[in-house]
A and B are shown apart, each in its own frame.
Chain A
Amino acid sequence: MDLIYSVIAVIGTLVVAFIVSLFLPGIERKFIHARIQQRVGPPITSPGVMAPLKFFFKQTITPESSMPRLYNALPIISLIVVVILLLFLIPEMYFLGALASVIALIGFLKVEEVMYMFMGSLSRSVMSVRMPFPDKAKGAAHPETPQSFFEDLSSLRAFRLIAFGSFPLYIALFVAVARTGSIYLQDIINYQQVHGPILFSVAGVLGAIVFFIGYMILLNEYPFSILKGKPDVIEGPYMEYAARYRAYVYITRGFLMFTLATLFSTLFLGIAPNILNPSFIITLIVALLFPMFMAVLSAFSPIFTYKQFYPTVAGVSIIGVLAIVAALL
């Protein structure tokens, strides 16, 4: 009976997460971005449901990549990583021990980040070097200089984000660890069931702010979208994804939005995602609120360059360290 209950909880949670995640991009764009910008906006199903559906039935192209199959496989791998991430957040999977710990989650998030680097380094779109144009005509400046694709820039930026951009998110995760004294999700939840949610403490509030900034950075949302900024690298690592592979990119993004919100509710509210538990409604509310807050901030921000990015990350990281210190105290 327990086994059936567990299987239903796991599969049900994943299915509901998948359905909700399809609507998150639409909610973000229709109800926040469009309202702030005083326009009608797209139908709520358009960005998350109809667009991937449409792309699944489009004819695909072979990207101009040195390894096109690997390049096309990366969004699928990325989606699998995010699904695994959510899987280990579900209480029925906590028997796996170390895999259901903060350290393991950080590992999976790192894999997700590395994907952007691979995507960037493997893409060779027509938007820059391959654009047919007589660059090396007589009189051209610096004709011997090697040319670089936009995606190379994106790849370089992804590497830098791995190095420093994800600091806030990981520091925020350790607020819960510092408070509870354990890296295991089971212990973190048990602690909060006894002592109340970490969010309702000074450390929790600071940690939540830091987590939110980290959430935006990981999702490459404005103003932190240096990986795929329209002013220079356009779509960046995603540039050459077409048809069903682009659909996977959209689905992964929605799923990652949901998973990160779930991670927050687990670590800061002590509510693990389980469809058979009535408190799952709070997880859903958090999953809806995060994209909304993110959309408000992104609608009122220009895209950052390193000049703004470094101080922001440094400042938020310091707040994160203060949160850890407060949690330890």
Chain B
Amino acid sequence: MDDKKENRMVIEAEVPMGTVHPAALEPYRLRLFVEDEIVRDAEMTVGVNHRGVERIMEGLPVEKANSLTEKICGICSNIHIWNSCRVAETALEIDVPERAIYIRVIMGELERLHSHLLYLAHGSEVLGHETFSMRIFYIRETIMDLLEMIGGNRVQYGSAVLGGVRPRCELDEMRIKKLTAGMDLVEEKLTAFADRFVSDPMVMSRITGVGVTSQKDALRLACSGPTLRATGVKSDLRTEMFEYYPFDFEVITQDDGDVKSQLLMRVFENFEAIKIIRQAIRDLPDGPITNRSWEMQDTPITKSYIEAPRGTLYHSYALEDGRVRNCVIRTPSMANIGAMQYSAIGHHITDAQLCVVQCDPCFTCTDRAIEIIKL
């Protein structure tokens, strides 16, 4: 992995960026060690936005704790509450109705769409291409409207509750029609955008061969999600999640591990998300959306892993008198920080933020994780 770091590394100066920087949507410190504007080493520090959500969750009734997890992330709020409910549902052996599972999958994939589109827009902005950024935001608006239609909000639209989904997230005929039309529209616009994007020589020149993380290094750095798949590793937790068993979809991979692969990776994943949503709408089963017949009991620490838009999301907690104990949450960006630092090495300093952004960081989520270092 140290092949990028030369044996006789010359570091002329350190250029610190952040914690406030217009290319970074969230607060973090990026120290770039440069030689004639070429990054020789990088160090990233997060923690400025620490909120201690796990500590706040300690002792809360499980229903309240679940709704609090939705506040962890402003982008993938739904996946957090879904995974948190999964922990309790697994521990308490609650059967979730099939219709509720389908609605959860629809919401999860809509969230993946909006998260990936946000990523593409932010990536375009860091490239300096505001027009592409604006156009992606326009496409994303359709998804945001659909999320608002189902979940009631544009940001905190989480649908999952213990045993199913919230009553207002029920999909009636009108909503299904809107969903179908929305998917057609997004697919059409995204296809046009992707064609335009890959045929732009200036954009391709900026992103091809930049920020490369090899497959070997991505595995060593324990990357997850699309960041790992963009290096050619076919790893997607959705293939192991029982909720996704009924759906037919491809696990998208790219070979090069550079910014181009990362961006295209998300574009192609969006088409797969649309495919899953269409299948879910077509095969949506009848029946209740919530199972209320379960009893609270004390449980040991139970774990749940789920494929969030950025990678593997981990939640675990124990239940004691209906209250949450020993909660631990690990977000995908924590696993991808290594790749963010590493991929910037050897590239021009202007590309450094692009190398960070290509791994789709979400430090608002990550900053509530606690790392205990044994001294």
Contacts and interface: CB of A to CB of B under 8 A. Distances in A.
Query: For this complex, into which size category does the number of interface residues on chain B fall?
Result: 35 or more
B287 interface: no
B23 A223 contact: no
B127 A302 contact: yes
Contact of A305 (B13, B124, B348): B348
A37 B129 CA distance: 11
Contacts of A39: 134
Contacts of A156: 37
A225 B126 CA distance: 13
A64 interface: no
B90 interface: no
Interface in A109-164: 127-129, 131, 133, 135, 140-142, 145-148, 150, 152-153, 156
B19 interface: yes
Contacts of B283: none
B43 A140 contact: yes
Query: Which of A142, A232, A308 has most B Cβ within 10 Å?
Result: A232
Contacts of A304: 202, 206
A37 B134 CA distance: 6
A146 B37 CA distance: 14
Given A133-B16, A135-B16, A299-B131, A308 B353 contact: no
A153 B128 contact: no
A190 interface: no
B128 A128 contact: no
Nearest to A147: B14
Interface string B1-38: 00000000001011111111111000001010110010
B361 to A, nearest CB: 15
B14 A133 contact: no
Contacts of B16: 128-129, 131, 133, 135, 147
Contact of A142 (B41, B135, B352): B41
B141 to A, nearest CB: 11
Contacts of A234: 21-22
A229 B349 CA distance: 11
Interface in B200-245: 200, 202-203, 205-206
A222 interface: yes
A306 interface: yes
Given A150-B15, A231-B350, A131 B130 contact: no
12 contacts: A33-B130, A133-B29, A133-B45, A141-B41, A142-B11, A142-B43, A223-B202, A231-B128, A232-B23, A232-B353, A301-B202, A306-B348
Interface of A: 33, 36-39, 127-129, 131, 133, 135, 140-142, 145-148, 150, 152-153, 156, 222-223, 225-226, 229-232, 234, 299-308
Interface of B: 11, 13-23, 29, 31, 33-34, 37, 41, 43, 45, 124-131, 134-135, 138, 200, 202-203, 205-206, 348-354
Given A146-B14, A147-B13, A232-B23, 18 more contacts: A36-B131, A37-B135, A131-B19, A133-B19, A135-B31, A140-B31, A142-B43, A148-B13, A148-B14, A153-B349, A230-B22, A230-B126, A231-B127, A231-B351, A301-B129, A304-B206, A305-B348, A308-B205
